Amino acid sequence: MSGFFGGLDIGSATTKAAIVSEDAVLGHAVVATGVHCDETARNLMNQVIEAHGLQFGDLKGVTTTGYGRRLVSFATGTISEITANVRGAVWYGQQGGRQIRTIINIGGQDSKVISLDEQGVTKNFSMNDKCAAGTGRFLESLARILEVNLTELGDIALEAEVPIRINSTCTVFAESEIISLIARGRKKSEIVAGAHYAIANRLARMARRVGVVDQVFFDGGPALNRGLVEAVENEIAAELYVPPDVPQVTTAVGAALIARDEYLYGAETDELPKARRMNREAECNLCP
């Protein structure tokens, strides 16, 4: 055994940590990011490793990703969210006997659609990081306006007979539209379902730009929302595969797997798994 490896995905809303061994994912956890990224990341990583009877010194490498990836003092490497997300999604797909060809990821402040070739290498991607529409932040606003728990939204949406069309794509205007619908006495379930379909429609437009090929992998915190899963499936006309573990941790798991790969094979050697090397090159070529 060469040791253990950590991955941290420091997002705008939550921080996710994962640890892997040479041949398995051992554990993971999620907490709110807060204002002190480095402290949050260290405490969370300690929580995960101690739960498995390990010490911090047992980690041979820690790779970080996400908005706060450069703010972690103990990181041994950083990687982009797209590369880490692809690595984690392909790994989870392999565990479930699926070949992942499309990834849909929704974070707190952005959403991404990534297309992969048959070798699991990034072909193209579309990213929305300029507007809260189609992100977890929009769902949080919806829950606040309707005075329900965020985790209840999915079940509420599934109660709707006919979703109400939400015309506004901007989160600010959509909030005003939802408040107006409440004032007019429209059913909460119909409003929630309509908001879910508004998000799904935006994701579908992004997906069509990069191309949708089965199997489609769906991750990020909102992937826990059954109503949103159904809406996205209907809008893209394809079944979504949501990882059986917490879908929020896919990118953190990918970062940990990358830390392991680079420790075992070296960052620039021919032994580094081909798809991993090609993904790094593909992303550089696709970015403006």
CATH number at residue 188: 3.30.420.40
Is the same domain home to 163 and 55?
A: no
Residue 93 is assigned to a structural domain of this protein: no
Give the contacts of 255 (CB within 8 A, at least 6 positions apart): 7, 8, 9, 18, 63, 64, 65, 79, 84, 87, 88
Residue 285's CB is within 10 A of a number of other CB atoms, namely 8
Residue 85 is assigned to a structural domain of this protein: no
Q: Which of 227, 244, 261 is the last residue of a domain?
A: 244
244-254 residues labelled b (16+ CB within 10 A) or e (exposed): eebbbbbbbbb
Is the same domain home to 107 and 47?
A: no
Is the same domain home to 144 and 226?
A: yes
Residue 125 is assigned to a structural domain of this protein: yes
Copy the structure tokens of residue 208: 């069509």
Is the same domain home to 198 and 280?
A: no
Residue 233 is assigned to a structural domain of this protein: yes
Q: What is the pLDDT of residues 44-69, one digit of tens each?
A: 999 999 999 999 999 999 999 999 99
Is the same domain home to 138 and 225?
A: yes
Residue 83 is assigned to a structural domain of this protein: no
Tell me which residue range forms the domain holding 151: 99-244
Burial label for 1, CB within 10 Å (0-12, 13-18, 19+), is exposed
pTM as predicted: 0.89
- Count of domains observed in the chain: 2
pLDDT band at 271 (very low <50, low <70, confident <90, very high): very low
pLDDT band at 244 (very low <50, low <70, confident <90, very high): confident
Phi then psi for residue 220, to 5 deg, are 100, 160
Are residues 15 and 41 in contact, defined by beta-carbon separation less than 8 angstroms? yes
Q: What is the pLDDT of residues 116-151, one digit of tens each?
A: 999 999 999 999 877 777 788 889 989 999 999 999
Is the same domain home to 20 and 37?
A: yes
Is the same domain home to 252 and 236?
A: no
Is the same domain home to 251 and 238?
A: no
Residue 31, SS3? strand
Is the same domain home to 155 and 259?
A: no
Is the same domain home to 217 and 270?
A: no
Is the same domain home to 225 and 261?
A: no
Residue 135 is assigned to a structural domain of this protein: yes
Q: What is the pLDDT of residues 150-182, one digit of tens each?
A: 999 999 999 999 999 987 767 777 888 999 999
Assess whether pLDDT exceeds 50 at residue 36: yes
Residue 209 is assigned to a structural domain of this protein: yes
Q: What is the pLDDT of residues 272-283, one digit of tens each?
A: 555 555 565 555
In 3D space, the residue among 138, 151, 129 whose CA is nearest the CA of residue 66 turns out to be 129
Q: What percent of the chain has pLDDT over 70?
A: 91
Is the same domain home to 103 and 239?
A: yes
Residue 192 is assigned to a structural domain of this protein: yes
